[in-house]
Structure 1
Amino acid sequence: MEIAMKSHVGCVRQVNEDYFACTADETGRVLAIVADGMGGHQAGDVASRMAVERILQELRLVDRDLTPVDEREVLMNAVMSANEAVYSYAESHPECSGMGTTVVVALINQEGGVTAHIGDSRLYLYSEGGLRQQTEDHSLVQELLKSGQITVQEASFHPRRNVLMRALGTERNVRIDLGDFVWSDGDIVLLCSDGLTNKVPPAVMETWMQKPIPLQEKVDGLVQYALDAGGEDNITLIAVSNTASAIDAGQEEG
C-alpha cells in the first residue's frame, strides 16, 4: 500500500483542531485515523489529539490473525475507550467542558478494511466504479436530507451544516457506526475532515483521483483546492492506495 497525507490550519483559524495518524505494521496492515476537534479555545485540539492517541494505543498490539469480525470489535472497543478518555478529561477540566471530536478510523489490509466513525469526518472509496462515500454524517443537515426537508444543493449552503448530532467525548455513552469494504488493485481510500468536504465537491475529488500523478500530489491538490475555495476550517486528508509499493512501518501524526 501507498500512503499520502496532509493537514492545514486553513486560511482563517489560528489553531489546527484536526489531528491525524497513519501507521503500518510489519504485515503491511494500515491504521488510519482523522479526528476534528470542537469545543472552543484549547478544548478542540486536546479532544482530537487525545482521541487519536488513545485509539493508536489500544490498537498498537492488535493480533495480525484477527478475522474481520474480530477486527470490527477491537476497533469499536478502541473508539469507545477514546470516548471515555475525552469525556473523563472534560469532566475533570471545567475549562474544557463540552469538548468533543469527530473520528473516522480504518484498519486496512490488502483485501479490504473495517471502519468506525462518529461525527462528520468521512471515509470515501475510489475504485473503477468511481468515488463512493462509505460513511454517513451524524449531522443536523444529514437528518434534514434523509427526511426530505432540504435538497442536496441546499445542504451545501445550509447555515447549520456544522451542527453535529453525535460526537466523541460529549457523552459517557455514544453510538459508533461500524462498516467494512473490499477493494482491488489501484483503489484508494480517503479519510478527511469536513474542512475538505465542505469545500471540495465529490466530482472534484474523483477527478483528482483519476489524475496520473503521484498520490501525494493528489492529496496536496485537494487540500489546495479547499484553501483556494476559502479554507475557513482546518483541512485534513489521508489517502491509502492499494498498490504493491512498500511502505514504511513507522508512524506519522499531527
Structure 2
Amino acid sequence: MSVGLKYTVALLTDRGGRSYNEDACGHWQSPSQLCCVLADGAGGHGGGDVASKLVVQELIGLFARQPSHDGAALAALMRRTNELLRAQREPGTERQDMHSTVVSLVLDLDNASAHWAHVGDSRLYWFSGGRIVRRTKDHSMVQALVDAGILTADQMSSHPKRSELRSAMGLPDDALELSSGDGDQAVQAHDVFLLCTDGIWEYLDDDLLERTLAEASTQQAWLETLGKEVRRLAQHKASHDNFTALTVWVGAT
C-alpha cells in the first residue's frame, strides 16, 4: 500500500516598491490532496487587494467543498470563482473595476500526480531533477507576440507592454480565457513547484531560478534568496511591483 506523496510548503510575499500589497496566496490540504492558490490583483485604489484575496478565498473554499481531480475541473472552479468575484463589484467604490490573475496547483497525494489551471500572467513552474520541465504560458500581449514569432521568450520581461493581459479574473465569462494542464509525467520525489506573480519572473529568469534552487539548503532559504535577487535587480525602479511566491517541495516517500 502506497503511503502517498510527502511535501512541504513555504511562502514569500513582499509589497516591493508599492504602498500596499495586491498579491495573495494560500493553500488547503486534506489527507489525499493539496490545493495551492496564488493571485495578483488589479483595479486601483485598493480594488486589487480586495480582488486577489477574494479569488484565493473563494477558489480554496470551492475546492474544499468539491475537489477537482483534473485540470478541466479545476478550471471550472475558477470560472465559478470569477462569477463570485464579479458579484462583489460595487459601482462607485474601490471594487467597481477589480480584476486578478490566478494560478492554482493541485497535488493528488495518493496517485502522485499534479494538475493545475491559471488565468493571466501569474505562473506555475515545475522543476524535476533541478531543471524546469513545465511552465504555464501567460495570457498576455507579449506572450501572443512570442507565439507569433515577433518576440523571443527572453524579451518578454523587458517589453514595455509586458503588463498588458489578454485575460484576467473579473472579465465576463465569455471573454475569460483559462488554461489548464495535467502533468505528462508523474510527480517524483524531490520535484519542486513554484507559483509566483509577475513581480518575481519579471526579474528572475529560468537560469537564475534553477541555479538558486540548486544552491538552496531549505525552502525558506530559496525564497529568501529569490526575494534578495528581486530587490537587487529592481533597485533602479523605486516603485517596482509586489512579488509573491509559493513553493511546494516533494519529499521522499
| Alignment partners' CA distance in 1, 2:208 and 2:28 | 27
| Alignment partners' CA distance in 1, 2:171 and 2:20 | 21
| Alignment partners' CA distance in 2, 1:23 and 1:73 | 19
Match of 2:77 in 1: 78
| Alignment partners' CA distance in 1, 2:66 and 2:155 | 43
Q: Are 1:6 and 2:12 an aligned pair?
A: yes
Aligned 1:147-226 pairs, distance under 5 A:
147-173=148-174, 174-181=176-183, 182-226=186-230
Q: Contact conserved, 1:2 with 1:240, CA < 8 A, in 2?
A: yes
Match of 2:25 in 1: 20
Q: For each residue in 1:22-66, what CA deviation from the matched residue of structure 2 results, as whole angstroms up to 9, or x when unmatched?
A: 222233x21111100011111101111111110011011346xx7
Q: What secondary structure sits across from 1:222 in the alignment?
A: helix
Aligned 1:1-254 pairs, distance under 5 A:
1-10=7-16, 12-27=17-32, 29-62=33-66, 68=69, 71-90=70-89, 92-95=90-93, 96-110=95-109, 111-128=112-129, 130-173=131-174, 174-181=176-183, 182-230=186-234, 232-244=240-252
| Alignment partners' CA distance in 2, 1:171 and 1:39 | 15
Supply the AA of the counterpart residue of 1:176. Answer: L
Q: Contact conserved, 1:19 with 1:36, CA < 8 A, in 2?
A: yes
Question: How many angstroms does 1:125 deviate by?
Answer: 0.6
Match of 2:3 in 1: none
Q: Contact conserved, 1:4 with 1:215, CA < 8 A, in 2?
A: yes
Worse overlay, 192-201 or 177-186:
177-186
Q: What secondary structure sits across from 1:60 in the alignment?
A: helix
Q: Contact conserved, 2:126 with 2:193, CA < 8 A, in 1?
A: yes
Worse overlay, 220-229 or 234-243:
220-229
Unaligned runs of 5+ in 1: 246-254
Q: What secondary structure sits across from 2:227 in the alignment?
A: helix
Q: Contact conserved, 1:98 with 1:170, CA < 8 A, in 2?
A: no
| Alignment partners' CA distance in 2, 1:154 and 1:176 | 24
| Alignment partners' CA distance in 1, 2:216 and 2:53 | 34
Worse overlay, 203-212 or 35-44:
203-212
Question: How many angstroms does 1:73 deviate by?
Answer: 4.3
Worse overlay, 43-52 or 105-114:
105-114
Q: What secondary structure sits across from 1:13 in the alignment?
A: coil
Supply the AA of the counterpart residue of 1:93. Answer: P
| Alignment partners' CA distance in 1, 2:134 and 2:190 | 17
Q: Contact conserved, 2:190 with 2:252, CA < 8 A, in 1?
A: no
Q: What secondary structure sits across from 2:247 in the alignment?
A: strand
Q: Give me the identity figure in percent.
A: 28
Q: Compute the RMSD of aligned alpha carbons.
A: 1.8
Q: What secondary structure sits across from 2:65 in the alignment?
A: coil
Supply the AA of the counterpart residue of 1:13. Answer: R
Q: Contact conserved, 1:54 with 1:78, CA < 8 A, in 2?
A: no
Question: How many angstroms does 1:244 deviate by?
Answer: 4.1
Supply the AA of the counterpart residue of 1:183. Answer: V
Aligned residues between the structures: 237
